[in-house]
Chains A and B, each alone.
Chain A
C-alpha cells in the first residue's frame, strides 16, 4: 500500500501470490494472544496469592456451615422484621432517589456532550470528565462525601448520584448520537431553536433507550446502595447486613437479608421484562 502511494519511487510489486491457506486470521491471532496473556497473569496471580497460611479444608468446611445457617435457617436475629423491612425500603428509596436525580442532571449534561448537538471540544471535555468520575469506584465517592457532609443519608445520596450521573451521561449522549442528524437538520432548516429541537424531536425519539438505560442504572444503584450502606451510615439494609455479618456474626440474619434482597431482585427482573415487552410491542 505504501509503495503504491509513492508512484515512481519503487518498481511495482508483482501481484501477491495466492494466500497460504491458514485458519489463523489476524483477529483470531489477537484473540489467542489476549487469552494467553490472561492465562499467564492468572497462573502468576494464583501462585503468588497470599493465603495467610489458610487450612483450606477447615475454611471450606466453615464456609459450608455458614452457608447452611444462612440459607436453611434464616431468622431476623437481634433486629426485628419491622426494622429490616424499613431498612430495605430505605435502600430501595436510596436507589430511586439517586437514579431520578442522576437521570435529571445527566440528561441536561448529555445534551452538551452529544457530538451531533454540541461543539466537539465541549463534547470531548465533558466526556473526559465523566470518564474520570466513572473510573473512581462509587464507594470512594461516598466515603469522600461522608467526610465533607458528615455520615448519613445525604452523603450516600450525593456519592451515589455522582457516579450515576457519570454513567448516565455516557449512556444518554450515545443514545442522542444515534438519532439521525438529518431529522435534526430538518427542524433547524425551519428555524427551530436548540431547546425545542431537544424536547420535541430528540427526546421523543430516544425515550425507549433512555428508559432502558435508566432502569439498568436503577438496578446498579440498588446494589450500590446496599454495598455502601455500611460505610455511609444511611441506616439502610446494607448497614444491617454489615453489622450482622461482620459484627454479630449472625449468619441466620445474613441469610434472611439475602433472601429479602433476592425478593427485590426478582421483582426488578419482572418489572424490567414487562417494561421491555411494553416498548417492544410499541415499536
Chain B
C-alpha cells in the first residue's frame, strides 16, 4: 500500500469515493427501511417534543398515585426476586454446560458442539415466543415468568461462561496437570477460582438485564410489575403507570450502581 498512489489528488479521490459509497449505502438502507416499515420521518420527529410534554403532564405521579404505592412496591419486589432467582438458577446450569462445553475443559468435542448449538438456540428464541409458549403450558403464574427468563438467561450465560473459561491461560491448567491433579481437581481448584469474579460480573449483568426484560415478560404473561403497568395503562390511570415507570427506573439505576460497586470490589 506504500507507493500505490501517484499523487495526493489520487489518494484523496479514492478517500472521497470510499466515503461516498459508504454514505450512499447508508442512504439506501435508510430509505429502504423507511419504505418497508412505512415510517414518516418528519411527522414523527416533529411529534417527539409534544410526546415528551404529554408524558410529563400525564405521567407525573400525583398525590392520588401514592395510594397505589403498596401493590406496586410489592410487585416490584416480586419481579426483582424472580429476576434474581431465574438468573442464579440459569447460572448454575450454565456453569456446568460451560465447563463441559469450553474448548479447554470439555471432555469430548461432540458435547461441545451440542452445547454450543443448544445455547445459541435458547438465545435466539425471542422472549415473546418463550413467554407465549410457557404461558400456554404453565398458565398465568410467577413460574411462567421465571421459566421464560431462565431459558433465555441460560443461553446467554452458557456462551459468556464458555468464552470466559476459554480465555483462561492454558498454561495454568497444564501446570496443575503436571503436578498430577485429576480432571475434577483441575476444574475446581484451577479453573473456577480464576474465573469466579468474571463469572459473577456476568451474573450481575444478567440480573440487571432480566429486571428490564421482566417488565416485557410480565406484560405478556400477566405477572409482576409488567402486568400491573399494563393494567393501569389500559385503564388510562397514567399517573399510576408513571409511578411504576419511575420506580422501575430507580430500581434499575440502583441495581446498576450496586453491581458496579461489587464488580470493582471483587475484581
Contact between chains at A262 and B128 (CB < 8 Å): no
B interface residue count range (under 10 / 10 to 19 / 20 to 34 / 35 or more): 35 or more
Known: A27-B267, A35-B200. A231 touches B219 (CB 8 A): yes
- Quick one: CB contact mask for B188-215 with A, threshold 8 Å, 1 for yes? 0000000011001001100000001101
- A94 is an interface residue with CB less than 8 A from chain B: yes
- Quick one: CB contact mask for B236-267 with A, threshold 8 Å, 1 for yes? 00000000010011101100100000100111
- A131 is an interface residue with CB less than 8 A from chain B: yes
CA distance A153 to B127 in the complex (A): 20
Return chain B residues, CB-CB under 8 Å to A100.
Answer: 26, 29-30, 33
Query: Which residue from A50, A257, A265 sits with its C-beta under 8 Å from B141?
Result: A50
Contact between chains at B249 and A262 (CB < 8 Å): no
Contact between chains at A70 and B33 (CB < 8 Å): no
- Quick one: CB contact mask for B9-50 with A, threshold 8 Å, 1 for yes? 000000000000000001001101110111110011001101
- A106 is an interface residue with CB less than 8 A from chain B: no
- B6 is an interface residue with CB less than 8 A from chain A: no
Known: A42-B88, A63-B137, A246-B132. A97 touches B216 (CB 8 A): no
Return chain A residues, CB-CB under 8 Å to B249.
Answer: 132, 135-136
Known: A135-B256, A145-B51, A234-B37. A242 touches B132 (CB 8 A): yes
Name B's interface SS: helix
29 A-B contacts (beta carbon < 8 Å)? A28-B266, A30-B262, A31-B200, A34-B204, A50-B142, A51-B141, A59-B137, A59-B139, A93-B32, A93-B36, A93-B37, A96-B33, A97-B33, A97-B37, A135-B249, A137-B215, A137-B248, A140-B215, A144-B51, A144-B55, A152-B38, A154-B47, A223-B127, A235-B38, A242-B132, A245-B128, A245-B133, A258-B125, A265-B120
